[in-house]
Structure 1
């Protein structure tokens, strides 16, 4: 058998194995989901028929729902068991345990178990909290709900535990190779971010409820007991979200303790940066809204009564402490991990993407805020009473955008202005190029459009077109737009020019050779002669050997 034939056979075998894995794991996953759906519906209908007195749950409805659920279980259960058995037959093979399809199945199944656990756990905590704070039993789905949700939550716990034991038994958990490692890190990142979002929303809802109750009592609202039902949902969201964040992060930390390079993994750094951005947005956005509202009040245009004003402020205020806590924790964690594990090439790229993306966001807010502020000043001089809201908008946007852009721009500029290898890497990085040339392009386009409009209006005025005046606020607005765009365009063009002036490492002028002493030259020449003599002796020996081996 030729080598080409063997390679062809190996290629066919590899393709067949991939097809087999795809089929087995896909059918096992789909049948598992069908089992969970059937089990959930069956437990729901049985618990309601047993513990809930409802005329709708009698007769044909119960029989139909029960038959449908049992039929789904009868089909899905053996289908899952057979295909999972087929998958486990090959688990002794290293390639099978490390295959990406197996990892996708295992982490997808773990995610399904988590969904079952968390959704039913959320309902249990919500209704229990309702009752604990005095809500009527009629507002809950108890006791039938407790039986249903408790049973399904227990099933979710069992599934998560079982799939975790399978992952550990595969003997590569935490140090997978190839795409298997990516699948695990992606699962942990997504689960952690989902938990973070749920926890943040639950925490801000709790704060909002507390503030709203205080406002209602201060203004003498008629109903001050409305908060019981929302409190249950908010408390449940907070507990469920915090548990998910803690569980995923604790799992990741255990892996990092065993395998230190995991500490600088790209997806781990992305997870931390996304947490930082989420906290910053939750802090700065409502802060800008509050600043805008306060400026409108100072300018005498804040509409509504005191109660309405307080109602408008409750929502933004509730986000700020939550965002500040998240922002602080994720930022400190990132700094600690960077100091402990350093940066890989990929994680350094993630850091640059984060820095330039945040700088671009701050620049956008600064740009719009400066334009709004100039428009407000122009309107105050040329028009009259329509400048209050643009002024408040402009100041609020500048107050948020200018510090963000200045901090991150100076941070990356300090690195880019260095003459060492790190500075060269920063100047040559694609996130920096994309940011600089992207801003330059936008600035050039804005200048092109606004200056063209200015020249167009000036020419119409010179040609005597009626209704066009050089003192109009529209022309002044366009000039203001051009001025802001020109300043920011110039700043970034200057940065591009400065980057080009630095000599790249390959273009650096070599240092002048240091003259050697006579003794150093003699020693260097003697070493070269000795090396050449050794090579000559080896060549003579090889030549003699060729002469002896010559056939007679």
Structure 2
């Protein structure tokens, strides 16, 4: 089947499936409304009922015939045809249906479970919710079985499958964790220790029902997709994105935000001392502590999982981990700088107010919240920045030229330098402007200092940041991190045991190579042990090759460097 014909068949099949599913859903809604809600509500007169029945049957017949005809033709072409099974169009079609139907079923299952937890009141029963949930689940189940039987015979099919799996893992994990935090928060609000005069009503309310539904449905579906669907998927880029950038980075970020809020509220309580009269002040503990615990658990579990999988030596794990380290270092540095700016601003305000000769009208305790927030940011951000920047330094010390040239490192350094240079430029412009303006206006006094306050803060804090990271950048440049390397397109043909060879070769070359896997035979096996001299000699042979494209063949205990060109 040609690509254009394949696309046409799948699009029409998708349209037919949508109409067919809509017809079934419409009939189910009508059935539920008549049978379950008939004693408490009306759906309209007989004409309305006949209209809905006719519309549903029409969609069922026309959509069903359309979908059946085109889907049957598709399935006939797929039978005993591996190329058709592995086609990108087919796998995209199946996985997009799986994703959309799963998300729809998840959302409506949440409402259905809330209705069950509320005591099954007929007055609040939703035929639309129940019908949509059933139809979406049926569509998902049918296509899941098809995908399960066919498997993923091509790399594109595996990639599309991974998109579905890890989107579902991320989505369901969010539902599960949010539900946990919201449930604990609701329980804390209803504790009798607050002595609140505000009546919240019964604890067993819609918010609690929603939280429990999120925990049950999100937890079950996350366990299914993570421990079953994605159980044997190792080494993929999407898995690394999910592990490092979503769960580890996201968990750390959520936990740090909650921890910062916790420290801020505690410091504010002790600094101001005025909030003690409100018994509800400490209700913030109801969401900050659960968020820190849940986010920490998510971070710890996936961090351990990532470390276990990284032991395989796959370069993709190192790349994802590198991005994580620089992201966390950047967030820690940014928060640390913000805390220092706020703290220095408080000190300057105190000094300016004390030096002012005239009457200064300020609110009592104006500095309480600012000091609490700045200290909270410093207390949380300083250890985070130190830990991750220390990890970065260790990684660079072990990785050598590959780490110095890493794109994430170059982006980190130049972004920090760019932001600090822009901030310093703006600060210096304002300081010079205020000095010249005060001199020319003959009003060179405390007002000049007051108008230059934020610029002075920026100058004092950003200058050391610029100096330090500029020294790091220059040190990398002296090591050859930005030396233009004439990269060759290197393809390594070896067996599955060549991971160590790939890592060492990329480290010496300073760029990535392409890897082709061959079946191991007695006549073709990669070297189990290679000395540093062997790797150096291999790199020299690659660089001295007469063509831009080079193939390295690890065969019969030898490394063959074969220059080639494509005609």
Q: Name the TM-score, length of structure 1 as normaliser.
A: 0.79
Q: Is the 8 A contact 1:293 1:302 kept in 2?
A: no
The 2-side partners of 1:139 and 1:455 are apart by 71
The 1-side partners of 2:192 and 2:335 are apart by 32
The match for 2:155 among 178, 182, 189 is: 178
User: 1:408 maps to which residue?
Assistant: 388
The 2-side partners of 1:467 and 1:303 are apart by 42
The 1-side partners of 2:274 and 2:87 are apart by 62
**Is 1:60 equivalent to 2:47 in the alignment?**
yes
User: 1:277 maps to which residue?
Assistant: 249
Q: Is the 8 A contact 1:417 1:423 kept in 2?
A: yes
Q: Is the 8 A contact 1:363 1:405 kept in 2?
A: yes
User: 2:501 maps to which residue?
Assistant: none
Question: What is the CA distance between 1:139 and its match in structure 2?
Answer: 6.3
The 2-side partners of 1:437 and 1:250 are apart by 40
Q: Is the 8 A contact 1:458 1:470 kept in 2?
A: no
Q: Is the 8 A contact 1:288 1:400 kept in 2?
A: yes
User: 1:78 maps to which residue?
Assistant: 65
The match for 2:236 among 265, 280, 293 is: 265
User: 1:360 maps to which residue?
Assistant: 330
Distance 1:49 1:380, change over 3 A: same
User: 2:537 maps to which residue?
Assistant: none
The 2-side partners of 1:230 and 1:452 are apart by 53
Q: Per-residue displacement from partner, 1:127-147 (whole Å, max 9, x unpaired)? A: 22222xxxx836631xx75xx
The 2-side partners of 1:465 and 1:371 are apart by 30
Q: Is the 8 A contact 1:193 1:271 kept in 2?
A: yes
CA RMSD of aligned residues (A): 2.7
Distance 1:151 1:457, change over 3 A: closer
Q: How does 1:238-257 map to 2 (within 5 A)?
A: 238-254=215-231, 256=232
Q: Per-residue displacement from partner, 1:188-242 (whole Å, max 9, x unpaired)? A: 1101101011111111111111111115764365454144322211111111111
The 1-side partners of 2:215 and 2:2 are apart by 45
User: 2:552 maps to which residue?
Assistant: none
Question: What is the CA distance between 1:491 and its match in structure 2?
Answer: 1.3
Q: How does 1:113-128 map to 2 (within 5 A)?
A: 113-128=101-116
Q: How does 1:190-205 map to 2 (within 5 A)?
A: 190-205=167-182
Distance 1:499 1:62, change over 3 A: same
Secondary structure in 2 matching 1:342: coil
**Is 1:289 equivalent to 2:277 in the alignment?**
no
The 2-side partners of 1:278 and 1:50 are apart by 46
Q: Is the 8 A contact 1:120 1:149 kept in 2?
A: yes
Question: What is the CA distance between 1:156 and its match in structure 2?
Answer: 4.3
Q: Per-residue displacement from partner, 1:378-400 (whole Å, max 9, x unpaired)? A: 11232365322222221122222
Distance 1:222 1:168, change over 3 A: closer
Distance 1:42 1:491, change over 3 A: same
Kindly indicate which of the two structures has a greater share of residues assigned to strand. Answer: 2
User: 1:342 maps to which residue?
Assistant: 313
**Is 1:94 equivalent to 2:82 in the alignment?**
yes
Deviates more, 1:27-36 or 1:311-320: 311-320
The match for 1:495 among 469, 472, 475 is: 472
Count of residues in Structure 1 that have an aligned counterpart in Structure 2: 472
Distance 1:195 1:356, change over 3 A: same
Distance 1:331 1:506, change over 3 A: closer
User: 2:140 maps to which residue?
Assistant: 160
The 2-side partners of 1:369 and 1:79 are apart by 63
Q: Is the 8 A contact 1:379 1:387 kept in 2?
A: no
Q: Is the 8 A contact 1:188 1:248 kept in 2?
A: yes
Question: What is the CA distance between 1:321 and its match in structure 2?
Answer: 2.3
User: 1:232 maps to which residue?
Assistant: 209
Which of structures 1 and 2 has the bigger CA Rg?
1
Question: What is the CA distance between 1:471 and its match in structure 2?
Answer: 6.4
Deviates more, 1:313-322 or 1:233-242: 313-322
Secondary structure in 2 matching 1:219: coil
Secondary structure in 2 matching 1:415: helix
Question: What is the CA distance between 1:114 and its match in structure 2?
Answer: 1.9
Secondary structure in 2 matching 1:264: coil
Q: Name the TM-score, length of structure 2 as normaliser.
A: 0.77
Q: Is the 8 A contact 1:291 1:396 kept in 2?
A: yes
**Is 1:392 equivalent to 2:372 in the alignment?**
yes
Question: What is the CA distance between 1:374 and its match in structure 2?
Answer: 0.7
The 2-side partners of 1:494 and 1:137 are apart by 69
Distance 1:90 1:160, change over 3 A: same
Q: Is the 8 A contact 2:262 2:284 kept in 1?
A: no
Q: Per-residue displacement from partner, 1:363-418 (whole Å, max 9, x unpaired)? A: 11111111111101211232365322222221122222222222111111122234
Question: What is the CA distance between 1:102 and its match in structure 2?
Answer: 0.5
Q: Is the 8 A contact 2:24 2:135 kept in 1?
A: no
Secondary structure in 1 matching 2:314: coil
The match for 2:98 among 110, 122, 129 is: 110
Deviates more, 1:423-432 or 1:244-253: 244-253
Q: Is the 8 A contact 2:434 2:448 kept in 1?
A: no
Q: Is the 8 A contact 1:275 1:327 kept in 2?
A: yes
Q: Is the 8 A contact 2:17 2:63 kept in 1?
A: yes
Q: Per-residue displacement from partner, 1:438-459 (whole Å, max 9, x unpaired)? A: 1111111111110121122222
Q: Is the 8 A contact 1:378 1:477 kept in 2?
A: no
Distance 1:222 1:349, change over 3 A: closer
Question: What is the CA distance between 1:103 and its match in structure 2?
Answer: 0.5
Distance 1:456 1:217, change over 3 A: closer
Secondary structure in 2 matching 1:472: helix
The 1-side partners of 2:422 and 2:129 are apart by 58
Question: What is the CA distance between 1:430 and its match in structure 2?
Answer: 0.7
Question: What is the CA distance between 1:323 and its match in structure 2?
Answer: 1.5
Query: Which consecutive residues of structure 2, in runs of 5 or more, have no partner in the other structure?
Result: 354-361, 482-507, 511-531, 534-567
**Is 1:41 equivalent to 2:11 in the alignment?**
no
Secondary structure in 1 matching 2:191: helix
Secondary structure in 2 matching 1:263: coil
